[in-house]
Amino acid sequence: MRGKIGLAIGLAAGYVLGTRAGRERYEQIKEQAERIWNQPAVQKQVDKVKDAGRMAAMALPTALWDGAVKITRAASSRGQDSRAQDPVRDRDGS
């Protein structure tokens, strides 16, 4: 669905930018786009996307923290395993 919307927007933008019809045609296209944008169904979807973006932004710090903790634990456990199997350290007693 996102691909179709992006294609439609791209085609519309290309037409508007590349048209030789002049200012009058540009104004017609602009008015149609504004009418579509201001429809309640479109604004409802816009609000859903905004809410999803807010939720994702609020969840990001937690996700980053959890990821950092996992990486730190994994690195720590690997470091302990490699020290336990290091024959040079065992000979030196360190």
Residues 29-45, mean pLDDT to the nearest whole number: 93
Backbone angles phi, psi at 89, to 5 degrees: -65, -35
**Residue 13 pLDDT > 90:** no
Domain ranges of the chain: 1-38, 41-87
CA distances to 54, 73, 75, 76 from 81, rounded to whole Å, are 41, 12, 10, 9
CA gap 16, 13 in Å, rounded: 5
Instruction: State residue 78's pLDDT score.
Output: 75
Say which residue, 49 or 21, is predicted with more confidence.
Answer: 49
Rounded Cα–Cα distance for residues 25 and 32 (Å): 11
pLDDT tens per residue, range 48-88: 999 998 888 888 888 888 899 999 988 888 766 555 555 55
Instruction: Read off the pLDDT band of 11 (50, 70, 90).
Output: confident
Mean pLDDT for 13-23 is 72
Residue-level pLDDT at 22 = 75
